[in-house]
Amino acid sequence: MQMTSEDLIEVTEFTWPKGYDADSTHAGLKPDQDDMGWIYSEEPADAAGVYTTNQFQAAPTKLTKQTINLAHKLQAVVMNAGNANSCNGSQGETDAIMMQKMAADRLQIDPHMVGIASTGVIGEPLPMAKIKAGISQLKLTKNVGVTKAILTTDTHPKTITVKCLIGGKVVTTTGFCKGSGMIHPNMATMLGFVTTDAAIAGNDLQQLLSATVDETFNQITVDGDTSTNDMVVVMANGAAGNDPLKETDSDYPTFVVAFKKVLTHLAQEIAGDGEGASKLVEVNVTGVYDHLEGQQVAKAIVGSNLVKAMIFGEDGNWGRIMQAIGQTTAHVDLDGVSIAINDLQLVKNSLGTGIDDAEVSKTLNQPKVTIDVDLNAGQASGTAWGCDLTYKYVQINASYRS
């Protein structure tokens, strides 16, 4: 690929960055799809991670956090769907360590260079014979099947590749994730993996990841629940050949924009693929006292079951948006709030504009619904993403284990 400095950032067809391999296989954890996979860097990579805040943090999540925190280095991540290995006590912790060791032995690297990730049903022992068989089948290929092997109730893989020019070198950053239900800040029932061939120190990568997750994955919600297994892991192996990135570098902002584009896209993909969802919902709040309040209000609106049901029913009942705003502690001009849905202004100066209900219903029939709110209380803003609440959501979760 030829790039010039004018190109800066480009979204391309999904591909692995330089120096990475990946593969997937069917280990029998799920009946009809690949359910195990890995990603592998030819050279040890700098690494960073963020993890669920649920008090019942699953054994694989806890172990990966411990592993990355040793030196912010990883060379591989092995993952499975169909079983979360969560709430399994000391046996779950032993099985997580064994899964890590099996992958390390297969790759002939140190176990402390392997992260592990699991997703699926909570409280069922990890079937180690199937895990062992699955790991034995994984190869070092450029297979993209791993993007499907982590899916649970997702309807499709969620992927993106972004290229940018750093120090005259083309840097590729690729991300994929899963997540559909049990999604609420902090993070989701999600596993997210980002690989890049950029050179950036692990501590700097950690700082960038944590800040970017706050603006992306922590601003999505589907059902108000936080999983035991959530994590996002990033590996940076330096194979692009750029000098290690620092905040003071002139090219650093370019990498930050490319990196945020990857995480933003994945976050929106998760929100739009919420269990049973028919619409992606984006909430943009302006006129806010500070950014934190903007994020709080946007999240409150997109997370309100009344708002979500309103959008599913294609009913322009803007009072539900007002009540969601009022439940927060944000500064609000009580006589100066404006609300628009897909550019149709429903509220001005906290009063209804009298717009025709049929016109509102028509715009709510779109696959993406954008709610713009002005609190008239400052200069800051905030954004969050979610989806509508449908009959299908209840159907899926009423029979999740069957």
> What pLDDT, in 10s, does the model give residues 1-12?
555 444 579 999
Whether pTM > 0.85 for this model: the answer is no
Residue 44 · residue 74 · CB < 8 Å: yes
Examine the pLDDT at 365 and tell me if it is beyond 80.
yes
Question: Phi then psi for 5, rounded to 5 degrees?
Answer: -65, -20
The tens digit of pLDDT for each residue in 223-252 reads 445 678 889 999 999 999 999 999 999 999
Examine the pLDDT at 148 and tell me if it is beyond 50.
yes
Q: What is the pLDDT of residue 185?
A: 44
User: What's domain 280-398's superfamily in CATH?
Assistant: ArgJ beta chain, C-terminal domain (3.10.20.340)
Q: What is the pLDDT of residue 269?
A: 86
Two tokens at 187? 């993070």
Q: What is the pLDDT of residue 5?
A: 45
Average confidence (pLDDT) over 161-166: 96
221 band by pLDDT with thresholds 50, 70 and 90:
low
Residue 116 · residue 83 · CB < 8 Å: no
Where does 211-288 show beta strands of DSSP type E? 231-236, 280-288
Any known ligand binding at 178?
A: yes
Number of alpha carbons in the 13 Å side-chain half-sphere of residue 266: 35
Any known ligand binding at 314?
A: no
Q: What is the pLDDT of residue 277?
A: 62
Coil, strand or helix at 9: strand
Q: What is the pLDDT of residue 282?
A: 92
Mean predicted lDDT score pLDDT of the chain: 89
What are the b/e assignments for 57-79, b being 16+ CB within 10 Å?
A: bbbbbbbbbebbeeebbbbbbbb
Q: What is the pLDDT of residue 6?
A: 47
Any known ligand binding at 218?
A: no
Domains 9-272 and 280-398 share a fold: no
Can you count the helices (H) and strands (E) in the chain?
11, 15
Q: Any idea what the Cα angle at residue 219 is, between residues 197 and 231, rounded to 5°?
A: 50
In CATH, the number for domain 9-272 is 3.60.70.12
Any known ligand binding at 189?
A: yes
Average confidence (pLDDT) over 308-313: 86
Two tokens at 113? 């260079």
Examine the pLDDT at 402 and tell me if it is beyond 50.
no
The tens digit of pLDDT for each residue in 60-84 reads 999 999 999 999 999 999 999 999 9
The tens digit of pLDDT for each residue in 276-300 reads 567 888 999 999 999 999 999 998 9
* AA letter at 393: Y
Any known ligand binding at 397?
A: yes
- What is the DSSP secondary structure assignment for residue 67, as one 8-state letter? H
Any known ligand binding at 4?
A: no
Active site residues: 189
* Lookup result for tokens 């297979």: 143
Examine the pLDDT at 182 and tell me if it is beyond 50.
no
Examine the pLDDT at 390 and tell me if it is beyond 80.
no
- Residues 6 or more apart whose CB falls under 8 angstroms from that of 39 comprise 20, 21, 22, 76, 77, 146, 193, 195, 235
- Taking the C-alpha atoms of residue 307 and residue 224, their distance in angstroms, rounded to an integer, is 13
Lowest pLDDT segment from 45-49, 201-205, 233-237, 321-325: 321-325
The domain segmentation of the chain, as residue ranges, is 9-272, 280-398
Q: What is the pLDDT of residue 339?
A: 96
Q: What is the pLDDT of residue 188?
A: 43
